[in-house]
Amino acid sequence: TFVTSSVMNVTTQTASYMQLGKWKASGQPAFFAYLGTTVANATGDGTAFVLGTTTALTEVTDQGGDFNTNGTFTAPVTGLYRFSCYFGLGVLGVTTGVLGILRTTGGDYYFNATAGAALANPVTASLNFGGSTLIPMTTGQTATAVVAAYGTTKTVSVLSGGANPFVSYFSGQLEA
């Protein structure tokens, strides 16, 4: 005699958030480039100077090939991108304001403006500043790093520290 039986278990599952953690993809867009040569008299009269326009930037890395040494990054996919830029400025004259801009075809993101009294000694004055932000971009949109100084003639130079230390640079990566 054979006895057979079957048991059925029922389990109710509830959906919950699961943290997937960080991941790395070899084709994920990322770049870092720096100004290898000082650009004299780039701004000062309010002229917007785009890092890489008059002197090509030196690429340290360009994962995915989406960055041009003229300072332009083109988003290969829609997503959230983190951009950072840093500017070293010299011979400021009587500059009354300096503005950094992460400029995209979707809009401008301003940071680190100084305003008010003239900055220190016009012969030896320097100002170093930078910014970083997360920017939503769609495929094909571009991003550049821009600096503009105000209140003087075009006597503000964008400085280079060469390969190390990096004084004026632009970087970015796909975050999500």
* Burial per residue of 1-19, b for 16 or more beta-carbon CB atoms within 10 angstroms, e otherwise: eeeeeeeeeeeeeeeeeee
Check whether 167 has a pLDDT greater than 60.
yes
Give the pLDDT confidence score for residue 47 in this predicted structure. 92
Check whether 112 has a pLDDT greater than 80.
no
Give the pLDDT confidence score for residue 13 in this predicted structure. 54
The whole-number average pLDDT for the span 104-125 is 68
**Tens digits of per-residue pLDDT, 136-149?**
999 999 999 999 98
**Tens digits of per-residue pLDDT, 50-86?**
999 999 999 999 999 999 999 999 999 999 999 999 9
Check whether 94 has a pLDDT greater than 80.
no
Question: pLDDT-derived band of residue 26, with 50, 70 and 90 as boundaries?
Answer: low
Percent of the chain residues past pLDDT 90, beyond the cut: 50
Question: pLDDT-derived band of residue 111, with 50, 70 and 90 as boundaries?
Answer: confident
Q: What is the mean pLDDT of the chain?
A: 82
